[in-house]
Amino acid sequence: MPALDRTRKTRPQHPLTRLALSACLIAKDATHNVIDLLSNSTRLAYLTVKDCEKELDQIERQIDEELPRAITQVNEDAARELLACLKFITDLERIGDLMAWVGGCVHRAPSRLAAQEANNLAEMATVVQDMLGQVYNSFVARDAHAAYGILRADLRINQLHQALMQRHLKRRLKAGPEILNVMLMAQALERAGDHAKNLAEEVVHMVEGRSIRHTPKRRAHD
């Protein structure tokens, strides 16, 4: 599966900001290939997910090493942006780890997942992919309103996760190792959605200068 376009045009930015934005698209690319792996079980998709994980690890190390010095050489607004990049890469690296774990589960499975299970997991991964695309756009445009919209997408992942878990728990006596594997993959994708939500919250913090991370949130079923 060809990699997604990572060369979106942006206004001039600090090199570390460009690096963090590139990481966002790499994480989106990893998620895209997890969806392809769930649908087609292709080795190329699995290898791409692993490559994305390695790229994200390298970017995290580079930002960790370069940011302390860089932040002393910029004004307050740019410093806030760089701090956002540091928080960004932490969540993006974890998304990469989760996608690699899901990809490994699919790749090493002794047989292909049942169509319903694969479709359910792919639907969850698609929401994460869309969230990452919206995070990228909202960061580039400094659009807090768009970032708030991403928070609603996280509710959708929670709903999908809960529906899958409830369906399998109702027939838990008949569940074998493959069902447990599906439930663990669903949990990993739900966690990836949480990290994408954190990214949206960081965009709001960067743009509006206030944190919404600890404000009360509606439950998925409200």
The reported pLDDT for the residue numbered 8 is 41
What residues does each domain of the chain span? 15-208
Burial (CB < 10 A; 0-12, 13-18, 19+), residue 85, is: buried
Q: Give the span between the Cα atoms of 202 and 157, in whole angstroms.
A: 19
What does CATH list as the number for 15-208? 1.20.58.220
In Å, what is the CA distance from 67 to each residue of 52, 63, 81, 140, 181?
22, 6, 11, 19, 39
pTM above 0.75, yes or no: yes
Per-residue pLDDT, averaged over 187-209, amounts to: 93
Which CA distances in Å does 141 have to 16, 26, 81, 84, 203?
Answer: 17, 19, 13, 14, 10
51-78 pLDDT per residue, tens: 999 999 999 999 999 999 999 999 988 9
Alpha-carbon distance of 142 to 158, in angstroms, equals: 26
Under DSSP, the state recorded for 114 is P
Q: pLDDT tens across 148-176, in order?
A: 888 888 878 888 888 887 777 766 545 56
Return mean pLDDT, the chain.
86
Q: pLDDT tens-digit profile of 81-137?
A: 999 999 999 999 999 999 999 999 999 887 888 888 899 999 999 999 999 999 999
